[in-house]
Every structure is written in structure tokens, then in C-alpha cells.
Chain A
Amino acid sequence: MSFAPCSKCGKRAAISLYYMGADLCQSHFTQFFESRVLRTVRHYRMLKKGERIAVALSGGKDSTVMLHMLHKISKSLPIKLFAITIDEGIAGYRNKTLEVAKRECRKLKVPLKVASFRREFGNTLDFLLKKKGAERSCSFCGVMRRYLLNKLARKMGADKIAIGHNADDVAQTVLMNYMRNEPERLARFGPLSGAVEDELFITRIKPLFLTPERDIAAYAVMKGIEIAFAECPYAHSAFRQSVREMLNKFEERYPGTKLRVVRAFLEQQKMLQEAFRGKVEKQGEKIGRCAICGEPSSKEACSLCVLLDRASF
């Protein structure tokens, strides 16, 4: 077989990166990939010496590759890593990725805590969605996962929670928030999350914020990180799925679209944060506590308690 050459060294190209109009060999791609993650971590000052980092590890490709990258970083920057995996209770899906999470943590000697919706909330996601309908599955699951991750990470003494959001997720979130006219949500969103500061909120960092999803899969394959490329059975019913498909069509036709959406958002992020933080300060409001569970909430009952019908008001 003859081969297509790497745009940098002329060796055998392993991947075409449409958004930069280049073909790269395995060596140049992994170098490029790792340095982009490092630049993101440094630019947004995501990690500090001595910090305890809770890695939100689903066992999917994004969080698993993120775990490997943070582990690599921890060799030169003294940080302590531990992982938290949440078993939502999605039959036929989560059990596969849970195995990956356990195996990769063993391999890297990173302590792992597995928590489940069933233990914490009394029911699996499958059960809840049967009752509530699967239309807003991602929103439900997201509220429950964020709550549990924050609570557990805090109990385990984490300074930060690392989330495996990639550039595709970010571009989707940005467009979804525009489509729903929810700019205040975007003000709280970013490589380092949290326009609201509160001692009960653990800062969330996103080292893969500028890394496209396909690159993450390619890196996993090149590095021999065995990942089950599985699809969440609820993904098709979600609004996010429509936005994902639309963005992928645009990306195919106009390469670089997703990263341009992410960069456009980063340009506007400070303005958004200022606008919404200013509003809260002017009103003299502070984040309160949920009257039911005691977790931080801007309303009398937090989103989770409303979702689980714990709130009677």
C-alpha cells in the first residue's frame, strides 16, 4: 500500500484534520494533541501545585483520555488525582463503560469511587425516565450527575472537579443556550465553571475544552487506550442530538465551524459573566441553600429536589 504523507514530516499520515486542512502522522498528531491540552490547562490556570483533583470518569472516551492526560501532567506538576464514576443505571450502556473506568484506574493507580443513582436517589435513571418520559433525559441526568459529583468531590476533599467536556460538547452547549435564549446559563459556562462563588461549589475544570471529539477518539486509538465506543440509548431523544447533527453537517461543509463557535463564545464569555455577575451584586443577592437538601441553590428548592418531586411548593 502506498500512503498519504504527513503535512509536517512526509511520513505516513494517520489522520486528516479537516479543521486545519492538514494530514498528520501518529507522532505529530499526538504531540499536537497533548500540547493543545497542556496549553488549555495553563492558559486558564486550571491546576495548581498540591491540589486534589476529582476526575469525573464515565469510562467513555472523553473522560478516559482526560484521565490519561491529567495523569501525564501529574508527573511534572504535583497534583493528587482520584476518580469518581457515577452509575446512573442505564441498562446495557453504563456497565460497559464502568468496566473501562475500573480498568484504567487500576492501570494508572488512580483511586476510584463508584457512586450510583440507585444508592443516592433510590432509583435508576431508567426507572425515573419511564416515569418522567425520556424527552429531557439529558437534562434530568445532568442535574442528578452534577449534584452527586459536586457533593462527593466536596466530601472527598477535592479542590477541583475535572470534566471531560470536549470542543464538540462546548459548541453544542453554546448553540443550545442561544436557541433557548438562556444567556445566564452561558455566563456560568466555560473552561473553568462558576460565575457564582460559594464554598459548597467545587470549581469545575475542562481540560478538553478546545479539543474536538474526533481527535480524542483518534488519540485513544493511537495510544492503545481500549474504549468501548458505545452510545447512550437516550442520546437520540435529546435536543442536543439534533444540534450535534446540525453542527456535524456544518463541520463537513465548512471545516472548523465547531472550533469557531467555541472561540466566538470565549470572546464573549467575559462580557456575559460581567453582565450577570453585576446583576446579582446590584440586587445584593447571594446564593442560598436548598430548603430540602441543604445544597447550594438560587431558589428555595434546588433543581434536583424539584426534579425528584421532593419539593412540595
Chain B
Amino acid sequence: MPTAKPGEQMQVILDGRKAKVKAASSVGELISVLGLAKEEVLVKVNGKLASDRTPISKKDKVKVMRVIFGG
């Protein structure tokens, strides 16, 4: 799996809003970069739900959804 270069950034959509974050090479790494709990999010890569080990790059359209809420 290719690793992201130091200092490199990528654009993601977090809860419907665009955000620039430190580039990650996999879905799991991205969740850690965002400081989110794996248990509380789902991630779509190029329109499809993706598992943690799914590789990602700057070219991919990545959408992170927080799905665990109270109420």
C-alpha cells in the first residue's frame, strides 16, 4: 500500500462539509488522522462504502459520515 508523503494534504467531505486534512493512505488511517472513533463512522470512497483497509489517494472522492448519535 503506498504511503502518503509527509506534509501532503487531501480533500475529504466530513459530515457534508469539505475539509482539507493530512493525507492518508487507507480509510483506517484517515479515520485516525481525523481523530474520530472507528466505531462511530462510515466512509464512502468514490460513492461506495469502504472497509478500513481500503487504500485511498488524493484522487479519490472520500466522504466520512458520523453515524452514531444519541436520541
Name A's B-contacting residues (CB within 8 A): 1-4, 12-16, 18, 23-24, 26, 60-61, 93, 138, 168, 213-214, 217-218, 221-222, 229-236, 238, 240-241, 244, 248-249, 251-252
Q: A18-B39, A249-B37, A252-B37 are contacts. A13–B53 as well, Cβ < 8 Å?
A: yes
Number of A-B pairs, beta carbon distance below 8 Å = 98
How would residues 44 to 56 of chain B score, 1 for a CB under 8 Å from any chain A CB and 0 otherwise? Answer: 1110111111111
B10: shortest Cβ distance to chain A, in Å? Answer: 14
Cα distance A167–B42 in the bound complex, in angstroms: 18
Please tell me the size bucket of the interface on B. 20 to 34
Q: A218-B42, A235-B71, A252-B39 are contacts. A13–B51 as well, Cβ < 8 Å?
A: yes
Complex contact B45–A248 (CB within 8 A): no
Question: Quick one: which of A3, A222, A236, A251 contacts B70, CB cutoff 8 A?
Answer: A236
Cα distance A265–B52 in the bound complex, in angstroms: 30
Chain B residue, CB-CB nearest to A220? B67
Complex contact B45–A221 (CB within 8 A): no
Query: What are 11 A-B pairs with beta-carbon distances under 8 A?
Result: A1-B55, A4-B54, A15-B49, A16-B28, A24-B51, A168-B68, A217-B42, A221-B42, A221-B44, A221-B49, A248-B68
Complex contact B51–A16 (CB within 8 A): yes
Cα distance A16–B49 in the bound complex, in angstroms: 10
Complex contact B67–A214 (CB within 8 A): yes
Chain A residue, CB-CB nearest to B38? A252
Among B46, B50, B57, B60, the one with the most A-chain Cβ atoms within 10 Å of its Cβ is B50
Cα distance A151–B45 in the bound complex, in angstroms: 46
Complex contact B71–A232 (CB within 8 A): yes
B36: shortest Cβ distance to chain A, in Å? Answer: 10
Complex contact A231–B51 (CB within 8 A): no
| Chain A residues positioned under 8 Å from B67 (CB to CB) | 61, 213-214, 217-218, 229
Complex contact B70–A240 (CB within 8 A): yes
Complex contact A229–B40 (CB within 8 A): no
A255: shortest Cβ distance to chain B, in Å? Answer: 9
Q: A1-B46, A218-B49, A229-B67 are contacts. A248–B39 as well, Cβ < 8 Å?
A: yes
Complex contact A15–B68 (CB within 8 A): no
| Chain A residues positioned under 8 Å from B55 (CB to CB) | 1-4
| Chain A residues positioned under 8 Å from B42 (CB to CB) | 15, 214, 217-218, 221
